[in-house]
């Protein structure tokens, strides 16, 4: 068990969550109407539940009407250490008053961050560059892969998400308003192992990862121009529904990449820095990527991301015009360094794993209890629940997903929808009682929705 002490953020669950008025309340509605007169392009979760937030502390959020919520979203995987952690807040405040930006000149705080990253990240991931968004880091990672290999093609996977700029978009599913009608030249996509929706199975019905690797091998020969720089994947798919691959997949993919002299690039913007109970999610499978992107929880809400490369490739940064206007500014470095120190000092990697055990046990029971729950998955504090119309056909149940999301939100749980897949990413500072309470709310919402839809 972890040494984490949740006392500073422990909730009185007789008071939290607390709904003063049915949400979204009148003040939320009025403020939302004023803002969206000008602000366009909202996420699906805001469209489904247009509440206006006023403050956050630890694992809680409060809206402008005074409603108090338990946070199971972390600002969509961002505030991994809870809202307004005092050490991180103080670190940002210090540099907001001391030195906000000096382009990519050396500072003491940047130097200390580099040294800390070198100390906690696995293997020889010893070369870094800093950015201000996940998609910018992904684009830089792609440039590193091209420069290091002198090749230009990339292979990515169905339902991965890597950002919304040109190169990152080309790594992802295309037939969506999120993306464009075209893909960058040299971009290829292949299926990845999803244990609940396998393309290839063994005689016993379980997923056959060897067949995926066999297909990749053939695709490299017949589907590409033979100039593949890297295989680019999310360790666990976020937008795709918290999909966790079988344990033998990444070790086999690492072998394939080594055989063909292809780099392995892990997009850990969502999964890194404690979210799954490890510094990098890839550590769960003892696989070291050649290129890694960090983000979201890296600065616990402050916009700071990173590209990390193994020792043989770190000088490649010099060949790609790697610097950026905001990357590595003192405030960003302070937020990232403080976040790493909080995870170390409070024993939060183990605590995230302890929370994961709780969530796995609670959600596992739902598959037996509810007809509409087809699958559940969890790694640390990264979870997903897939809702289906029929457990045999596994037909997605989008209407149920919408209703469960809205029902739980009305009961005081702030979280993430994805069509028929419910996604959860609570802060890893959450105490066990609050975690159980959040599970209670979701379980109640699923039960009510199932009954409402006549199942």
CB 264, CB 251: distance < 8 Å: no
List residues bridging with 70 in a β-sheet: 60, 413
* Closest by CA position to 289, among listed 305, 314, 270, 309: 309
Find out if CATH 3.40.50.2300 is the number for domain 355-398+443-455: no
CB 196, CB 394: distance < 8 Å: yes
The hierarchical CATH code for the domain 86-345 is: 3.40.640.10
Q: Is 98 helix (H, G, I), strand (E, B) or coil?
A: coil
Half-sphere exposure at residue 88, Cβ-oriented, CA atoms within 13 angstroms: 28
Q: Delimit the CATH 3.90.1150.10 region(s) of the chain.
A: 355-398+443-455
Q: Which residues of 154-181 are buried (b: 16+ CB within 10 A; e: fewer)?
A: bbbbebbbbbeeebbbbbbbeeeeebee
CA atoms of 415 and 385, how far apart (whole Å)? 12
* Closest by CA position to 32, among listed 14, 6, 54, 16: 54
CA atoms of 74 and 339, how far apart (whole Å)? 14
Going by the DSSP 8-state scheme, the letter that residue 120 receives in this structure is H
User: The sheet that has 53-57: what strands, in order across it?
Assistant: 53-57, 60-63, 68-71, 413-414
Record the tokens describing residue 195, joined without a space.
Answer: 């244990």
**pLDDT digit string, tens, across residues 160-180:** 999 888 888 889 865 556 555
**pLDDT digit string, tens, across residues 25-55:** 999 999 999 999 999 989 888 998 999 999 9
Q: Delimit the CATH 3.40.640.10 region(s) of the chain.
A: 86-345
CA atoms of 138 and 232, how far apart (whole Å)? 10
Record the tokens describing residue 423, joined without a space.
Answer: 């996604």
* pTM listed for this prediction: 0.95
Q: Is 258 helix (H, G, I), strand (E, B) or coil?
A: helix
More confident residue, 169 or 152: 152
CA atoms of 86 and 233, how far apart (whole Å)? 34
22, 23, 27, 28 alpha-carbon torsion, rounded to 10°? -170
Extended beta strands in 223-299, E state: 228-233, 263-268, 291-294
DSSP assignment of 2-24:
-----GGG---TTTSSB-SSSSS
Q: Which residues of 374-398 are buried (b: 16+ CB within 10 A; e: fewer)?
A: bbbbbbbbbbbbbbbbeeeeeebbe
Judged against a pLDDT cut of 90, whether residue 2 lies above it is answered with: no
Enclosing H/E stretch for 89: helix 86-96
List residues bridging with 155 in a β-sheet: 188, 231
Extended beta strands in 244-352, E state: 263-268, 291-294, 305-310
DSSP assignment of 344-374:
HHTTHHHHHHHHHHHHHHHHHHHHHH-TTEE
For position 245, what pLDDT does the model report?
Answer: 97
Provide mean pLDDT across the span 301-311: 97
**pLDDT digit string, tens, across residues 63-121:** 999 999 999 999 999 999 999 999 999 999 999 999 999 999 999 999 999 999 999 99
**pLDDT digit string, tens, across residues 371-399:** 999 999 999 999 999 999 999 999 999 99
User: The sheet that has 263-268: what strands, in order across it?
Assistant: 125-131, 305-310, 291-294, 263-268, 228-233, 153-157, 187-190
Record the tokens describing residue 88, joined without a space.
Answer: 């991180």
Record the tokens describing residue 70, joined without a space.
Answer: 């338990």
Question: CA 12, 18, 21: angle at the middle one, nearest 5?
Answer: 165
Judged against a pLDDT cut of 80, whether residue 142 lies above it is answered with: yes
CB 233, CB 267: distance < 8 Å: yes
Record the tokens describing residue 400, joined without a space.
Answer: 């149920």
Judged against a pLDDT cut of 70, whether residue 61 lies above it is answered with: yes
Average pLDDT over the chain reads: 94
Record the tokens describing residue 141, joined without a space.
Answer: 């990672």
Query: CA distances (Å), 344 to each of 72, 341, 435, in order?
Result: 22, 5, 21
For position 4, what pLDDT does the model report?
Answer: 74
Portion of the chain with pLDDT greater than 90, in percent: 88
Rama region for 21: left / alpha / beta (φ>0; ψ in -120 to 50; rest) = beta
Q: How many helices (H) and strands (E) does the chain have?
A: 13, 15
Other CB atoms within 10 Å distance of the CB of residue 118: 14
- β-strand pairing of 263-268 with 228-233: parallel
DSSP assignment of 32-69:
HHHHHTT-----HHHHHS---EEEEEBTEEEETT--EE
Longest dimension (CA), the chain: 64
Q: Tokens 């969509």 label which residue?
A: 76
């Amino acid at each position: 068990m972890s040494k984490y002490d949740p006392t500073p953020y422990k909730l009185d669950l007789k008071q939290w969550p607390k709904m003063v008025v049915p949400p979204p309340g009148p003040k939320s509605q009025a403020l939302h109407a004023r803002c969206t007169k000008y602000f366009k392009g909202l996420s699906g979760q805001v469209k489904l539940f247009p509440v206006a937030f006023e403050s956050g502390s630890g694992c809680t959020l409060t809206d402008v009407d005074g409603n108090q919520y338990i946070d199971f979203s972390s600002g969509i995987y961002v505030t991994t250490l809870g809202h307004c952690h005092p050490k991180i807040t103080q670190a940002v405040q210090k540099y907001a008053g001391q030195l906000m930006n000096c382009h990519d000149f050396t500072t003491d705080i940047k130097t200390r961050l580099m040294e800390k990253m070198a100390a906690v990240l696995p293997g020889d991931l010893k070369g870094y560059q800093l950015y201000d968004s996940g998609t910018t880091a992904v684009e830089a990672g792609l440039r590193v892969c091209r420069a290091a290999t002198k090749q230009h093609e990339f292979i990515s996977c169905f339902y991965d998400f890597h950002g919304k700029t040109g190169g990152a978009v080309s790594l992802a599913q295309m037939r969506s308003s999120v993306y464009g009608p075209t893909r960058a030249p040299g971009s290829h996509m292949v299926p990845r192992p999803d244990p609940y929706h396998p393309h290839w199975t063994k005689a016993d019905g379980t997923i056959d990862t060897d067949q995926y690797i066999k297909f990749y091998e053939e695709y490299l020969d017949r589907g590409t121009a033979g100039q593949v720089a890297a295989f680019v994947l999310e360790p666990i798919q976020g937008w795709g529904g918290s999909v966790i691959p079988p344990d033998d997949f990444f070790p086999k993919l690492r072998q394939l990449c080594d055989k063909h002299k292809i780099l392995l690039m892990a997009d850990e913007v969502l999964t890194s820095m404690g979210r799954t109970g490890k510094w990098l999610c890839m550590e769960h499978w003892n696989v070291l990527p050649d290129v890694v992107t960090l983000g979201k929880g890296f600065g616990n809400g402050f916009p700071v991301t990173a590209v990390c490369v193994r020792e043989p490739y770190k000088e490649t940064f010099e060949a790609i015009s790697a610097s950026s206007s905001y990357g590595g500014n003192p405030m960003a470095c302070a937020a990232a360094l403080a976040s790493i120190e909080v995870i170390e000092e409070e024993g939060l990697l183990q605590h995230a794993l302890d929370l994961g055990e709780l969530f796995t046990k609670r959600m596992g029971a739902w598959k037996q209890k509810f007809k509409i729950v087809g699958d559940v998955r969890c790694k640390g504090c990264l979870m997903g629940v897939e809702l289906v119309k029929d457990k045999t056909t596994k037909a997605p149940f989008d209407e149920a997903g919408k209703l469960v999301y809205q029902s739980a939100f009305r009961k005081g749980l702030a979280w993430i929808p994805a069509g028929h897949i419910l996604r959860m990413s609570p802060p890893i500072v959450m105490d066990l009682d609050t975690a159980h309470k959040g599970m209670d709310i979701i379980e109640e919402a699923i039960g009510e929705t199932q009954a409402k839809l006549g199942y």
